[in-house]
């Protein structure tokens, strides 16, 4: 049994009664909703009894007799006939009578449902059954009330949120429930807190509620604890997963490529935000090798194409997409990591993009060679020395160059 959120207006109650008296327990209206209202067997049975109760009441049968006939309590019959309570499908019928039929190739999608009975709460949007071009997504999200107060564009924030969904964020779904987004980030870097808060704000651009929850204490086999955030469970997240990302419920972003060719033609802010969400989730910057790597193996083709829309070339390297030093400045010009967050990776990429390079055939300055030798003698590693050189002199040196001069100082590398 499910209670209505607000009392039904008498006019709407009369329309529901008239509909079930005319159509009985026919569920044809459910085809206009996302996944046909996601029916369970119990929902079908309850709606049949609800419709039958109204039919029998129209013949002036008593509530007690109707209750015996349908094998429910008299109080249940009473709430059905007065519309103070209704089964799940009756709530969808009420919404159908208010909303009418959606446009062709779209369905009605509620952003929220009640827990347990999954009664639709709204707000409602007309969501495309397939996203083939950016315009399909834009028409959907423009219907969604949102509470973001940032000075960033909505396209950027939505792109970032979808990028995080493809990357670090878990898209949990249990049983017949709706998906929610979990984000768990290491406490190794304080800026990871900013990534989580940014993601929450980006979620609000889609009308989704997301908030921080209790941290995870440091496990015995880990050096740090974890920050944690969780979104509400919503049919909208299911729709994003299945339609926008193009994934089946049995597929996972860890192993299966997203199907988002429509993103190639999306506005620049959406593409920028999406790449930033990917990079903040699965990106790394190496000062020593002067490269950026995006660990997005299943979806490398798409990410490579999106990078090329900004003129950034990349290549497959192990399970990652690599951006070499010749492309680093272009990657920073996107910028590949979010300037709103300015994580450690953003700072590294910024230093690489603005660094000086020793021209081919030229020796590195004496003071730099001396610096490398001194650091090598105290046991500093080659990658660490590379970062120190960049920070101290603004000079980007390859791993091989630093290694060569470190060895001359007697360092075993």
Where is 401: in which H helix or E strand?
Answer: helix 399-408
Q: Flag whether 5 is in a domain.
A: no
Is 312:331 a contact under the CB 8 Å cutoff? yes
Q: What is the DSSP string of 323-359?
A: E-GGGHHHHHHTTSS-TTT--HHHHHHHHHHH-B-PP
337 and 374 belong to one structural domain: no
Q: Flag whether 135 is in a domain.
A: no
For residue 3, what pLDDT is reported? 44
Alpha helices in 217-309 (DSSP H): 235-239, 268-282, 300-308
297 and 393 belong to one structural domain: no
Q: Flag whether 54 is in a domain.
A: yes
Tell me the C-alpha distance between 323 and 334, whole Å: 13
Tell me the C-alpha distance between 42 and 36, whole Å: 15
227 and 303 belong to one structural domain: yes
Q: Flag whether 138 is in a domain.
A: no
243 and 390 belong to one structural domain: no
DSSP category for residue 242: I
Q: Flag whether 179 is in a domain.
A: yes
For residue 149, what pLDDT is reported? 65
List, edge to edge, every strand of the sheet that includes 291-294.
283-286, 291-294, 320-323, 315-317
E strand map for 138-287: 170-172, 180-186, 210-216, 226-231, 283-286
335 and 374 belong to one structural domain: no
179 and 277 belong to one structural domain: yes
For residue 86, what pLDDT is reported? 96
Q: Flag whether 251 is in a domain.
A: yes
| Domain end among 322, 351, 380 | 351
For residue 257, what pLDDT is reported? 96
For residue 148, what pLDDT is reported? 64
289 and 387 belong to one structural domain: no
299 and 244 belong to one structural domain: yes
Tell me the C-alpha distance between 314 and 293, whole Å: 9
Around 389, how many Cα atoms within 13 Å sit in the side-chain half-sphere? 38
345 and 400 belong to one structural domain: no
For residue 369, what pLDDT is reported? 86
100 and 226 belong to one structural domain: no
Residues in the chain: 413
How far is the CA of 120 from the CAs of 28, 40, 110, 293, in angstroms?
Answer: 18, 15, 6, 43
Q: Flag whether 143 is in a domain.
A: no
For residue 292, what are the domain limits?
Answer: 154-351
List, edge to edge, every strand of the sheet that includes 210-216.
170-172, 180-186, 226-231, 210-216
77 and 181 belong to one structural domain: no
158 and 295 belong to one structural domain: yes
| Domain end among 127, 146, 163 | 127
Tally of structural domains, the chain: 3
| Domain end among 87, 108, 127 | 127
pLDDT tens digits, one per residue of 78-129? 999 999 999 999 999 999 999 999 999 999 999 999 988 899 999 999 999 9
- Which residues touch 28 (CB under 8 Å, ≥6 apart)? none
For residue 263, what pLDDT is reported? 98
Q: Flag whether 358 is in a domain.
A: no
Domain CATH number, residue 164: 3.10.28.10
Tell me the C-alpha distance between 289 and 59, whole Å: 82
Q: Mean pLDDT for each consecutive 10-residue tract of the chain (413 residues)?
A: 60 97 98 97 97 96 95 96 96 97 97 91 97 96 82 94 92 85 94 95 94 94 94 96 96 95 98 98 91 94 98 93 94 97 94 82 83 88 87 84 81 48
């Amino acid at each position: 049994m499910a209670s209505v959120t607000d009392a039904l207006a008498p006019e709407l109650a009369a329309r529901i009664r008239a509909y079930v008296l005319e159509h009985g327990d026919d569920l044809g209206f459910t085809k206009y909703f996302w996944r046909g209202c996601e029916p369970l067997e119990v929902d079908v049975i309850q709606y049949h009894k609800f419709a039958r109760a109204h039919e029998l009441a129209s013949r002036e049968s008593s509530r007690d007799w109707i209750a015996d006939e349908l094998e429910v309590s008299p109080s249940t019959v009473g709430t059905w006939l007065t519309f103070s309570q209704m089964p799940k499908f009756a709530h969808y019928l009420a919404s159908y009578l208010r909303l009418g039929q959606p446009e062709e190739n779209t369905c009605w999608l509620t952003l929220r449902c009640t827990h347990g009975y999954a009664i639709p709460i709204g707000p409602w949007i007309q969501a495309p059954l397939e996203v083939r071009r950016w315009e399909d997504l834009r028409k959907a999200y423009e219907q969604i009330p949102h509470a973001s107060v940032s000075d960033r564009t909505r396209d950027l924030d939505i792109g970032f949120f979808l990028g995080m969904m493809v990357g670090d964020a878990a898209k949990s779904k249990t049983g017949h429930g709706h998906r929610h987004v979990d984000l768990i980030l290491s406490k190794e870097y304080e800026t990871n807190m900013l990534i989580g808060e940014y993601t929450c704000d980006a979620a609000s651009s889609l009308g989704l509620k997301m908030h921080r929850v209790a941290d995870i204490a440091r496990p015995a086999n880990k050096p740090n604890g974890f920050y944690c955030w969780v979104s509400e469970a919503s049919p909208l997240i299911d729709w994003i997963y299945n339609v926008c990302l193009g994934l089946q419920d049995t597929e996972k972003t860890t192993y299966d490529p997203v199907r988002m060719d429509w993103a190639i033609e999306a506005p620049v802010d959406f593409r920028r935000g999406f790449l930033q969400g990917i990079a903040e989730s699965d990106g790394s910057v190496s000062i020593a090798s002067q490269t950026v790597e995006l660990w997005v193996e299943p979806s490398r083709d798409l990410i490579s194409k999106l990078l090329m829309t900004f003129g950034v070339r990349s290549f497959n390297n192990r399970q990652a997409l690599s951006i070499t030093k010749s492309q680093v400045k272009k990657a920073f010009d996107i910028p590949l990591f979010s300037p709103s967050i300015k994580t450690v990776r953003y700072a590294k990429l910024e230093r690489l993009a603005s660094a000086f390079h020793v021209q081919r055939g030229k020796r590195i300055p004496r003071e730099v060679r001396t610096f490398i030798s001194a650091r090598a003698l105290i046991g500093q590693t080659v990658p660490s020395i590379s970062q120190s050189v960049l920070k101290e002199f603004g000079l980007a040196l390859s791993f091989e160059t630093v290694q060569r001069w470190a060895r001359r100082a007697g360092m075993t590398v």
